Amino acid sequence: MKLSHIGADLKVVVRTYLRNPVALFFSLFFPIILIALFGLIFSAIGTGTTTLYVVNEDVTASGHFSNVSVEFMNALNQTHVVSVDVVNVSSSDFSSWLGQNDYSAGLVIPRGFQADFYANRSVNVSLYTNPQDASTGGEVAGAVQGVVNYLNLNHACYPRTNCSTVVGVTNFNVGSQVYKYIDYLIPGLIGFSILTSPMFSIVDITSSYRKDGIFRQLSLTPLTRSEWLTSRVIWYVLLTFVSAGIMLGTGVGLFGAHVRVTLAMVPFLVVGPFFFVSLGMLAGSVAKTPESAALIGNIITFPMMFLSGTFFQVSQFPSGLQMFAHILPLYYVIDGMNQVMLFSNTTRAVYDLAGVLVAGVVVFLLAVRLFKWRDE
Amino acid sequence: MGGAIEVHGLVKRYGELAAVGGIDFSVEPGAIFSFLGPNGAGKTTTVEILEGLRRATAGEVRVLGLDPWREGRELHRRIGVIPQDFRFFEKITPKEAIEYYGTLFGTRVDPMNLLRQVELADKANSRFDTLSGGQKQKLGLALSLTNEPQICFLDEPTTGLDPHARRAIWEVIRQLQREGRTVFLTTHYLEEAELLADQVAIIHHGKIIASGTPAEIIRHHGRPMRLRIQAGEELVTLLKSQLGVTAYTENHHVEVELRDKDDALRVLSAVEQSGLPWGGFTTEQDTLEDVFVRMVGQMDDGALKTEGSA
């Protein structure tokens, strides 16, 4: 590979792109429109019932939850504001467990809750909410407080006459930041851009250049297929950096997204376009006509566009769809960016990156091998 | 094998179909060689094999001493190609295109100089998608010269050009020859081939049916020189009986085939002495186009044998 060849071809690519306003719009500004659209929709619509993860430490000698704690949890469910999910986690680790799993609300019912309640001794449940997600936190706190008041009034007072507040609520923040929809949307849409920019244009270019005889023309020059493909990869990497910068600016500036801008994003912004430019060229190579190339491109692109965690978290999908998502390469690009931009989970990000890189090298080599500039 | 291009027994099959059925020809260094044939004759297939874009089924092909398919990369550095219906990156200007090719080939070229040569300097900064068909062809020609090629393969380089632009391209082609380059020219315009080419080969149904200089082809395959006299049918009878010449009427004229220049004098003298009414006269000779049309037509009728089968 000659750098001068790649540089000359890159210059052609950049000029072609910059002189094509439609392509620029779809690469750079369309994702911003999506951020604005989805950001507005999901900040305006309530999320309904919030799952409240409960650690119930009030277990009787027979190994069952105490009656009062069960009644307390049932009352919480009846509010329809929260849905109780009892988990088996140590109360000391509960706060960080919530944070790691990105859960926004948790409650600890302490050991001796029933005994204290009947003995009219003051006892507190511990409520964990996320200060970043004030509206959800407020709703959950209101529901919990309502049930606590109900307990105090209807059980602790009866049949006594000297009513006093027995059950109280101690508020805590969850161990680490809990994320909002917009926080996921930023890495998701960077992934969207990494997928769609190269896939839609490279598939089309590969088939139409062949039909128009441009590849035939290039085959008569010293430019090699690897050099041609490399210059495209470089261009889409550059485009991805610009696009990611604009999306980060919009997401953080307009919607207050909480994402970490870190150098650890860089490998994903390089390896992602590398994979999808190669995949686009492969798809364009195996197609006989521009029409069939577009069809193949769409078949590859559309499932990934929606099922890889671009607009919605994969963890919210039904289990069958989650399994399907795990075979999509874009899932690993987006998951990796979520790990570095939201969760600081470098280990998992490295695995994601390695997977995409290996797949990218395989697809690149396959594309260069299968793509013919001249006929037999 | 000392020619710029040497072809022996070239065959190209697509399944059962033989697009090229075993042809031989050679092109001398520095010559303008014109390859003619109707559509579907095997012309483009042959050219693409010579350019290393297609693999031959059988036969031997050498271009500048190289096997075009196996040694394509080396060959492409030494040849220039302008394909039929040349297309390029739509948003790139002619000047940028030449700079691009210059970098790829590692040659120092002055884009404006090349563009002036093909009369495209005024469109140096216009994007390719705004150029007319003829202007696009001119850019194709300019690009084919970027690497200072030893052989230029020009596939219908003047198609779609106005007469002025066509003459400009002819001048470029002559200049290429003056610079010592070999030109392999395919064209639909037979007058172009006759005017420019040192050697011509006509391919039809995958076989070479004629080859040589344009004059040789006309001499071998065309009709003799004719005297064309504005006169009536009775003159035909008189000339046949008096002089024993071949004469016939065509388009209200009498045509008399001449075996030599003395025939012309004898015929005119007989016409004058006959007392029959007659107008002016002209001499007629077949052009390459006449020969081409007759040969291709006769071959389609099965009347003409090819050079290979003769």
CA distances from B16 to B22, B50, B57 (A): 15, 22, 12
Is the Cβ pair A212, B87 closer than 8 Å? yes
Domain that holds residue A195: 3-43+180-370
Same domain, B180 and B261: no
Same domain, A16 and A82: no
Q: Which of A198-202, A207-211, A245-249 has the highest mean predicted lDDT (pLDDT)?
A: A245-249
* B10 in any annotated domain: yes
Pairing of strands B32-36, B182-186: parallel
The one-character DSSP state at A40 is: H
Pairing of strands B151-155, B182-186: parallel
pLDDT in tens, A47-73: 567 889 999 999 988 889 998 899 889
Question: Comparing C-alpha atoms, which of A190, A140, A237, A238 is closest to residue A341?
Answer: A190
Which of B169, B197, B219 terminates a domain? The answer is B219
| Alpha carbon of residue B17 to chain centroid | 25
Which of A120, A139, A173 terminates a domain? The answer is A173
| Residue A159: cis peptide before it, omega within 30 degrees of 0 | yes
Domain at B277, CATH number = 3.30.70.860
Mean pLDDT of B71-80: 93
- pLDDT of A156 above 60: no
* A376 in any annotated domain: no
Same domain, B109 and B239: no
Question: Comparing C-alpha atoms, which of A119, A110, A72, A272 is closest to residue A189?
Answer: A272
Give B-chain residues touching A221 at CB under 8 angstroms. Answer: 76, 101, 104-105
CA distances from B79 to A222, B69, B233 (A): 12, 14, 57
Same domain, A164 and A193: no
Which of B199, B219, B239 terminates a domain? The answer is B219
Spatial distance between the Cα atoms of A9 and A2, rounded to a whole number of angstroms: 11
* B299 in any annotated domain: no
Same domain, B13 and B158: yes
More confident residue, A132 or A118: A118
Mean pLDDT of B174-191: 91
- Chain A interface, Cβ < 8 Å to B: 4-5, 7-9, 11-12, 15-16, 19-20, 212-214, 216-217, 219-223, 374-376
Which of A138, A173, A208 terminates a domain? The answer is A173
Same domain, B141 and B190: yes
Same domain, A238 and A134: no
* A355 in any annotated domain: yes
The phi, psi pair for A48, rounded to 5°, reads 80, -145
Describe the crossing of helices A329-338 and A346-370 by its angle, rounded to 10 degrees: 150
Spatial distance between the Cα atoms of A55 and A107, rounded to a whole number of angstroms: 6
* B290 in any annotated domain: no
What strand order describes the sheet that includes B207-212?
A: B79-82, B151-155, B182-186, B32-36, B199-204, B207-212
Closest Cβ–Cβ partner in A5, A15, A212 for B92: A15
Give B-chain residues touching A217 at CB under 8 angstroms. Answer: 81, 83, 86-88
> What is the rounded (10 degree) CA torsion for A321, A322, A324, A325?
120
Same domain, A150 and A242: no
Return mean pLDDT, chain B: 88
* B310 in any annotated domain: no
Closest Cβ–Cβ partner in A15, A374, A375 for B96: A15
Our CA-based measurement puts residue B128 at a distance from the nearest CA of chain A, in whole angstroms, of 11
pLDDT in tens, B96-134: 999 999 999 999 899 999 999 888 999 999 999 999 888
Is the Cβ pair A216, B53 closer than 8 Å? yes
Cβ neighbourhood burial of B274 (10 Å; 0-12, 13-18, 19+): middle
Mean pLDDT of A280-286: 86
Rg of chain B over Cα atoms, rounded to whole angstroms, equals 24
Spatial distance between the Cα atoms of A49 and A40, rounded to a whole number of angstroms: 20
Is the Cβ pair A217, B87 closer than 8 Å? yes
Give the model's confidence band at A7: pLDDT under 50 very low, under 70 low, under 90 confident, else very high: very high
Our CA-based measurement puts residue B103 at a distance from the nearest CA of chain A, in whole angstroms, of 7
Mean pLDDT of B146-152: 94
Spatial distance between the Cα atoms of B224 and B256, rounded to a whole number of angstroms: 9
Our CA-based measurement puts residue B157 at a distance from the nearest CA of chain A, in whole angstroms, of 15
* A86 in any annotated domain: yes
* B76 in any annotated domain: yes
Same domain, A323 and A336: yes
Same domain, A118 and A187: no
| Cβ A50 vs Cβ A134: under 8 Å | no
The phi, psi pair for B2, rounded to 5°, reads -110, -5
Same domain, B173 and B253: no
Report helix, strand or coil for B157. Answer: coil
Is the Cβ pair B91, A217 closer than 8 Å? no
A140: tokens are: 């959950």
Is the Cβ pair A374, B89 closer than 8 Å? no
Same domain, A355 and A308: yes
More confident residue, B193 or A183: B193
Question: Comparing C-alpha atoms, which of B308, B283, B282, B290 is closest to residue B221?
Answer: B290
Mean pLDDT of A196-223: 87
pLDDT of residue B298: 65
Which of B169, B200, B219 terminates a domain? The answer is B219
Size of the A and B interface in Cβ pairs below 8 Å: 67
Query: Percentage of residues in chain A with pLDDT exceeding 90?
Result: 30
pTM for this predicted structure: 0.74
Same domain, B123 and B262: no
pLDDT of residue B309: 44
* A335 in any annotated domain: yes
Closest Cβ–Cβ partner in A11, A212, A222 for B105: A222
Same domain, B114 and B236: no
The one-character DSSP state at A66 is: P
Same domain, B227 and B215: no
Spatial distance between the Cα atoms of B285 and B61, rounded to a whole number of angstroms: 36
A313: tokens are: 């978290």
Mean pLDDT of A126-131: 83
Is the Cβ pair A213, B85 closer than 8 Å? yes
* A193 in any annotated domain: yes
| Range list of H helices, A213-258 | 214-219, 225-255
pLDDT in tens, A226-271: 899 899 999 999 999 999 999 898 888 887 788 888 899 999 999 9
- pLDDT of A101 above 90: no
Question: Comparing C-alpha atoms, which of A137, A167, A136, A144 is closest to residue A154?
Answer: A167
Domain at A74, CATH number = 3.40.1710.10
- DSSP H or E run through B280: strand B278-284
* B298 in any annotated domain: no
Same domain, B115 and B241: no
* A110 in any annotated domain: yes
- pLDDT of B301 above 70: no
* B232 in any annotated domain: yes
Same domain, B96 and B238: no
Mean pLDDT of B200-211: 91
Which of A173, A199, A226 terminates a domain? The answer is A173
| Range list of H helices, A101-222 | 113-118, 134-151, 181-212, 214-219
Is the Cβ pair A221, B105 closer than 8 Å? yes
Same domain, B35 and B103: yes
Same domain, A159 and A238: no
Is the Cβ pair A221, B91 closer than 8 Å? no
pLDDT in tens, B94-103: 999 999 999 9
| Cβ A218 vs Cβ A297: under 8 Å | no
Same domain, A15 and A54: no
Same domain, B192 and B265: no
Spatial distance between the Cα atoms of A289 and A295, rounded to a whole number of angstroms: 10
* A375 in any annotated domain: no
Same domain, A132 and A271: no
Domains identified in chain B, total number: 2
Question: Comparing C-alpha atoms, which of B219, B220, B178, B195 is closest to residue B310?
Answer: B220
Is the Cβ pair B103, A8 closer than 8 Å? yes
Domain at B118, CATH number = 3.40.50.300
- pLDDT of B304 above 80: no
| Cβ A304 vs Cβ A229: under 8 Å | no
pLDDT in tens, A362-372: 999 998 888 87
Query: If you measure CA to CA, which chain A residue comes closest to B146?
Result: A221
Closest Cβ–Cβ partner in A4, A9, A19 for B91: A19
Length of chain B: 310
Is the Cβ pair B100, A216 closer than 8 Å? no
Our CA-based measurement puts residue A24 at a distance from the nearest CA of chain B, in whole angstroms, of 14
Query: If you measure CA to CA, which chain B residue comes closest to A215?
Result: B88
Is the Cβ pair B53, A19 closer than 8 Å? no
Same domain, A162 and A189: no
- pLDDT of B310 above 60: no
Query: If you measure CA to CA, which chain B residue comes closest to A212?
Result: B87
pLDDT of residue B308: 46
- pLDDT of A165 above 80: no
Q: What number is the ipTM of this complex?
A: 0.80
Give A-chain residues touching B14 at CB under 8 angstroms. Answer: none
Same domain, A186 and A331: yes
Mean pLDDT of B18-38: 92
* B295 in any annotated domain: no
Domain that holds residue B249: 223-284
Give B-chain residues touching A220 at CB under 8 angstroms. Answer: 51, 53, 76, 79, 81
Domains identified in chain A, total number: 2
Q: Which of A42-51, A349-358, B55-64, B107-116 has the lowest mean pLDDT?
A: A42-51
Q: Which of A302-316, B140-154, B251-265, B286-300 has the highest mean predicted lDDT (pLDDT)?
A: B140-154
Closest Cβ–Cβ partner in A9, A16, A220 for B76: A220
Query: Percentage of residues in chain A with pLDDT exceeding 70?
Result: 91
More confident residue, A307 or A104: A307
Is the Cβ pair B87, A213 closer than 8 Å? yes
